[in-house]
Amino acid sequence: MKDIHSHLLYGIDDGSKNIEESIPLLKALEKEGVTDLMLTPHYVENSKYNCNNYEKQQIFEEFCKRAEEENINVKLYLGNEVFFTENMLELLEKDEIKTLNNSKYLLFEFPMNNVYHNTATVINDLINHEYVPILAHPERYRRFQEHPKVAEDYLRSGVLLQGNVSSLFGEYGRDAEKTLKFYLKKKWISFLGSDIHHDLKFKGKKLEKKLLRITKDKEYTKKLLEDNFDKVIQNIDLGILR
């Protein structure tokens, strides 16, 4: 698996507190078959989770060096998980928030229980400036659980979807698991992530079999586990449903 969502960049959000916590978690991911990991610390405007790009880069370089010293064979990349705000485009232009590996792809999240009514304008502005928004863990949002097909509106606008692997293993409850399975059967999910904070909630070696049982599609499963991640790293178009 190539993991596009994690919180192991330590000391700046609700994930790992320090490098001594991150290293064992990185080793655990490697043991479960993760070969590439995107570090996506939260960015929440006007909160304590607002580490800028310069500071993130310093921590990232320190983490990469330590991982190499520990002989951990996982490639690390840097991004953000941005809490939805009307100012996302401005934050990008000010170099406050980071796209995934400096690509055009931007990972963002919604509040779990609230519905924003101005999302279309913000998303359209991002797309008009040639960014590709990726919505993190749609299966966890109450509105998406109650009305799963609302995701189709976002897909048609140009948003891609990233599911949490642990949702498939019951970590966020039955509704999240059911919703993610629905999206996988529809092939609406483009990426998977561990969303790891403090411990690993799934067995990576069981993941491929579970995905194949759900999707019945080897090619799509490979895209979820590897190919789409690679396209983000290389800043290549995925082909967006509209």
Instruction: Kindly state the average pLDDT of the residues 71-81.
Output: 98
Answer yes or no: is pLDDT of 101 > 50: yes
pLDDT at residue 27, rounded to an integer:
97
Instruction: Kindly state the average pLDDT of the residues 105-114.
Output: 94
CA–CA distances in Å: residue 160 to residues 44, 83, 87, 137, 208: 21, 16, 20, 11, 21
> For the chain, which residues make up each domain, given as ranges?
2-233
Spell out the residues 6+ positions from residue 11 whose beta carbon is closer than 8 angstroms to its own.
17, 18, 59
Model pTM score: 0.96
pLDDT at residue 165, rounded to an integer:
96
CA distance 123 to 84: 10
The position carrying tokens 């759900």 is 214
pLDDT at residue 114, rounded to an integer:
81
Answer yes or no: is pLDDT of 242 > 50: no
pLDDT at residue 200, rounded to an integer:
86
pLDDT at residue 240, rounded to an integer:
58
Of all residues in the chain, the percent with pLDDT exceeding 70 is: 98
Answer yes or no: is pLDDT of 184 > 50: yes
pLDDT in tens, 198-234: 998 777 778 999 999 999 999 999 999 999 999 999 9
Give residue 122's pLDDT band: very low, low, confident or very high (50, 70, 90). very high
pLDDT in tens, 10-59: 999 999 999 999 999 999 999 999 999 999 999 999 999 999 999 999 99
Give residue 98's pLDDT band: very low, low, confident or very high (50, 70, 90). very high
Query: Contact 190/160 with Cβ under 8 angstroms?
Result: yes
CA distance 69 to 189: 35
Instruction: Kindly state the average pLDDT of the residues 81-110.
Output: 97
- 225 token code pair: 């586990």
C-alpha closest to that of 42 among 51, 33, 34: 51
At the topology level of CATH, where does 2-233 sit? TIM Barrel (3.20.20)
Query: Contact 135/141 with Cβ under 8 angstroms?
Result: no
